[in-house]
């Protein structure tokens, strides 16, 4: 004898942990959320990123060649940083197809971590940065696949706003920056800086949540390309604030806000489409 409630709980666990690894199985009629990967959309997204980066690079050099842009100005620095951020986001966004690996994403994350560690020891900076992007992206995509409801996506969006602000201004991130230890280099990605004599770094956790939101857009049928571009703009906006005020600014709050703004109407609809837990519980009865 099995109560309807226990049956429902068991199948919910199967749906959130097993069904995504076996999309061909029908588990008691429960809808299985799987990423909707369209390679034409993925290609279009990559081309849009490439076009924007190319246009930005050309614009920068035209402004420099004509003397319109001061090479030593903050504006030049922000343009260079923006191009670097865009490049990293373009790479991470283009790796969304890795969701097809499903549980193998954990092995890819581990492999990328080992390559990153080896590259740090060998001082292969370019390889280190790429390995960290792959590590963070695969980890974020895997986390997105483990979320079993749009409510969890919304909850994460809200929580990271508070947690990141606390971490940067009062918590562990501030302590690591003040200590000046090697952990900052280990946990951040060295960004390419186009044309400026400067260095810029982005937290690996920022790319984890970037790819988590891109993966969520694929799983929950949100605006895939718009989401990726909006999240990139959020990084650029955070960078501009940081350079202008000359302070460290948390990147995740704006990342979450731009994700919600880009998909607010669809997120609301997906939330309404979810099963009413209380109604399912009260109406389950017993199963003999």
Residue with the bigger pLDDT between 171 and 267: it is 267
**Separation of alpha carbons 288 and 286, rounded Å:** 7
Structural domain boundaries in the chain:
38-280
- Please provide residue 286's backbone torsions phi and psi, each rounded to the nearest 5 degrees: -120, 150
Hey, what are 242's tokens?
Answer: 């940081």
Q: What is the dihedral of CA 56, 57, 63, 66, to 10 degrees?
A: -140
With bands split at pLDDT 50, 70 and 90, how would you rate the model's confidence at 196? low
Tens of pLDDT along 265-276? 999 988 887 765
Check whether 3 has a pLDDT greater than 90: no
Quick count: other Cβ atoms within 10 Å of Cβ 225?
A: 18
CA dist 221 to 131, 155, 218, Å? 28, 18, 5
Check whether 24 has a pLDDT greater than 70: no
Tens of pLDDT along 198-247? 677 889 999 999 999 999 999 999 999 999 999 999 999 999 999 888 88
Check whether 255 has a pLDDT greater than 60: yes
Q: What is the mean pLDDT of residues 82-89?
A: 94
Sign of the torsion angle spanned by Cα atoms 74, 87, 253, 108: negative
CA dist 119 to 69, 89, 105, 123, 187, Å? 36, 21, 21, 6, 14
């Amino acid at each position: 004898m099995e109560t309807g409630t226990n049956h429902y709980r068991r199948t919910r666990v199967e749906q959130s942990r097993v069904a995504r690894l076996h999309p061909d199985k029908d588990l008691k009629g429960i809808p299985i959320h799987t990423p909707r990967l369209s390679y034409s959309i993925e290609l279009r997204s990559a081309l849009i990123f490439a076009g924007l980066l190319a246009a930005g690079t050309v614009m920068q050099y035209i402004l420099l060649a004509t003397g319109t842009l001061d090479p030593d100005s903050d504006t030049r620095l922000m343009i260079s940083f923006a191009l670097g951020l865009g490049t990293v986001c373009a790479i991470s966004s283009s790796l969304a197809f890795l969701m097809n690996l499903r549980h193998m994403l954990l092995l890819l994350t581990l492999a990328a971590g080992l390559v990153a560690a080896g590259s740090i020891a060998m001082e292969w900076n370019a390889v280190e940065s790429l390995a960290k992007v792959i590590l963070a992206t695969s980890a974020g995509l895997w986390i997105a696949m483990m979320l079993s409801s749009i409510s969890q996506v919304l909850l994460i969006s809200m929580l990271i706003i508070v947690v990141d602000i606390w971490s940067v201004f009062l918590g562990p991130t501030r302590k690591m920056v003040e200590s000046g230890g090697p952990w900052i280099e280990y946990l951040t990605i060295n960004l390419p800086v186009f044309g400026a004599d400067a260095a810029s770094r982005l937290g690996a956790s920022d790319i984890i949540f970037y790819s988590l939101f891109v993966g969520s857009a694929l799983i929950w049928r949100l605006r895939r390309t718009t989401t990726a571009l909006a999240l990139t703009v959020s990084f650029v906006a955070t960078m501009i604030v940081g350079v202008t005020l000359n302070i460290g600014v948390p990147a995740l709050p704006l990342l979450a806000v731009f994700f919600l703004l880009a998909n607010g109407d669809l997120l609301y609809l997906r939330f309404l489409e979810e099963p009413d837990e209380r109604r399912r519980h009260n109406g389950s009865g017993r199963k003999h």
